[in-house]
Structure formats: C-alpha cells, structure tokens
Amino acid sequence: MKRNELPTPCFVVGEAELKHNLEILAGVQKRTGAKILLAQKAFSMFRVYPLIAEYLSGACASGLYEARLAYEEMLEKQSAGQVENKTIKARHAKEKMGGENHVFSPAYTAEEMQEIVTICDHIVFNSFSQLEQHRAIWRKSGASAGIRVNPACSTQEGHAIYDPCAPFSRLGVTRENFRPDLLEGVEGLHFHTLCEQNSDDLVKTFDAFERDFGEFLPRMKWLNLGGGHHITKPDYDLFALEELLYYIRAKYDVQVYLEPGEAVALNAGWLDTCVLDIVQNGMPILILDASAACHMPDVLEMPYRPPLVNAGEPNEKAVTCRLAARTCLAGDVIGDYSFDQMPKIGERITFSDMAIYSMVKTNTFNGMPLPSIAYQREDGDCELVKTFGYEDFKGRLS
C-alpha cells in the first residue's frame, strides 16, 4: 500500500528511521562492550522485533506479559526449530537464542515467578523482601538475580511523575535499607532514574550510585544502568556515555547493560489522522479522528505538545488552529498549531515521533477505535500490520 491509502487514525513506523537508530545503538555496543536491550514499555511493535534482534542484545520487560512477548517474538523466533521445550531453563534458552530477556517489576506474584524463571535469564527485584520471598525458585532455576537500588539523585525537572528518586519513591532500595547480608546469590545491581535525558545526567547519577553502592560492585557480575537515555537524539553526548562505560568496565569488571526504549524508536514513527470537522469558538478548532486521551496519553500526562508535520507554533504561520479529539472529554486537546492555509475537512495531517509511548498506551475510552498499525519499508511501500474493530473494544469489557 501507499501511505495515503492507509486508514486513519494509523500509527506508521518507518524501517529506515528505525535502522538509523539501531545502527547508533549497535555502534555503542561494539565500541564499549556494553549490552543494550529494548525497553518494551516504550515500544512493543513486535512486528519489528526480529529486526531489532539483529542489532541489540535482547529485551527488558516490566512484568510477565512483556517478558512473554519478547520471548515469543524476539528470542524464540531466532531459534525456530532449535528449541522444542518452551519450559527450558532460562540460561539454556539464552544459549540457544543468542539474546537475553530481562525483567523488573516492583513486585511479582508466586504464580508469575513460576513462569518468569522459564523465559527470563535476568530477574531484577525491587526489594530484599521480594528477593527472599522468591529465593527458592530463582536459585533453583539458574536465572541471574539482581537488586534495584535508589541512588537518591534526582536529575529531572518538572516531571515528578517520572522521577524514581522523588521523595517517598517506591522504586529501588535506598542505601539505608540496603541489606548486604542478603546478597548471597545476587549477581547484579540495577538503577533507573532518567527520562529523555542526556549523558551528563547519567554521569551525575552514577557518581551518586558509586558513592553509596560502589563497594558492592566487586561482588557483582553485571550492572544495569536502566533506561531514559536519549542516545539517538542528535545532540546526545555519545563520547561522555562511552567514557563512563569504559570506566565502569575497567574499574569493576562487570557486564554493563543499558535499556533504552525511546532511543530505539525515537523519531521513527508517525500518527496519521484526518480532520472530521471544524468548529468555531474564538479560533478554528479541528476535530480529528485521533485523540490525546485515547491515542497519545502523554500529551495530557507529561504534558507536551507533539510535533506536527508542516505546521508551526501558534501565530507563526497564517492560520492558527486548535487540534482536538471527538471524545466527550472537554480537555481532550492535542494543542494549538499554525498552518500556511486553513486545513479542510477530510484532509490528512501527521504527528511525528509517535512510535514511542503511544501504541503501548492506547485505550478505548468513549468507545474510540484504536489506530491501525503500519510499517513503512525503506522503499516507501507500506504494510498494514494490524487493524482494530468493535470486538477489540468489547473484548476488554464484561
């Protein structure tokens, strides 16, 4: 299909843009020896998992379902015909599949842990209580266990909802609550404090981590620096990142992991939408078939104003319009944009950088249809990967 033949609303992920990001990340791996994992919480379009597996070292999950998705769509498919027993132990699976499957959750149920140890080779616990509660099963499975720590170093401004080091955070063990006496069998430490940040914030955070937890690294096999690294952003300081990775490896002789989500698909996707109506109330208001609340919730949560192709800031161009959705939520407004000329009913408009934290957060509030998902190949042809209908809405209800 051609791009203009796709239905709207529709998420479109570009193969060329995705490969560009993956090549940057693969370069970091090659030069430093660090391993980079796909953080599925930001990008879970498993149609492209085989491509991602060609460049990265595996995936990380925020719970059982994401871990299963990576196992089935990225790791298991790499070894089609090689592994028949799906309950094979994690480390054997890793050897067969050539990729790693990591998981972290603030808490696991006993039932979840029974399956997690069969598909994950690295399991990170949020507390020593959880570590001990599940010790018998993770020790028996042979999976590599780690503890998430809280370095108590906030580097974010204005987004407390995304700050794991904010006061009273439930994420990670603080130094005062750290239990060296319970480290038997623990092979790794993990921290994750960043959100869309550059390497200077990682360096600052590592300094705080090293001050409080560095004494335990000689006992470890690996260190996971978490996600939030904007590695593929044009102004990202790769040199500073790589210098830090060299330092950690040389001083502590541990395998270093990074698990970016946004960096994998940054600027690699779009949301195509259509103008359904135009109403007037002090300014032209375009009613779209896409919704901030349903299709790009970060617009309201962060909040932020998503980039719009061929549009400008308010009053920058000839006509300024407000872009809003057709839900009943009065605040379901995407933002104000200016255009060279007034858009028309039926016209397609496109938001960019929509591959990350959009598809994974969609919902059907008000019975809104979910956007289709498409893949744009390097030659410009598009594959309509997935469409959704009434049954997808009804199937979530009772």
Each domain of the chain, given as residue ranges in start order, spans 3-11+269-354+362-394, 33-265
State the pLDDT confidence band at 233, using cuts at 50, 70 and 90. very high
According to the model, what pLDDT value does residue 94 have? Answer: 41
Q: Give the model's pLDDT for residue 205.
A: 98
* Residue 84: per-residue pLDDT: 43
pLDDT at position 5 over 50? yes
The chain-wide mean pLDDT, for the chain, equals 94
Residue-level pLDDT at 391: 97
**In the predicted model, what is the mean pLDDT of residues 333-347?**
98
In the prediction, which pLDDT does 303 show? 85
Strand ranges (DSSP E) for the chain?
Answer: 10-14, 35-39, 58-61, 100-105, 122-125, 144-148, 186-190, 222-224, 255-258, 269-280, 284-288, 319-324, 333-339, 348-352, 372-376, 382-386
* CATH fold for the domain made of 3-11+269-354+362-394: Lyase, Ornithine Decarboxylase; Chain A, domain 1 (2.40.37)
What pLDDT does 77 receive?
A: 66
Residue 178 binned pLDDT confidence (cut-offs 50, 70, 90): very high
3-11+269-354+362-394 and 33-265: same fold?
no
- Cα(378)–Cα(102) distance, integer angstroms: 31
The residue-averaged pLDDT of 276-304 equals 96
| Tokens standing for residue 35 | 């391993």
User: What was the pLDDT predicted at 160?
Assistant: 80
End-to-end CA distance of the chain: 36
pLDDT band at residue 67, thresholds of 50, 70 and 90?
very high
Of all residues in the chain, the percent with pLDDT exceeding 70 is 94
The pLDDT of residue 381 is 98
Helices (H), the chain: 15-32, 49-53, 64-70, 90-97, 110-119, 128-133, 135-141, 199-213, 238-252, 262-265, 292-295, 298-301, 390-394
pLDDT at 161: 85
**pLDDT-based confidence at residue 55 (cuts at 50, 70, 90):** very high
Is residue 156 predicted with pLDDT exceeding 80?
yes
DSSP 375: E
For domain 33-265, which architecture applies?
Answer: Alpha-Beta Barrel (3.20)
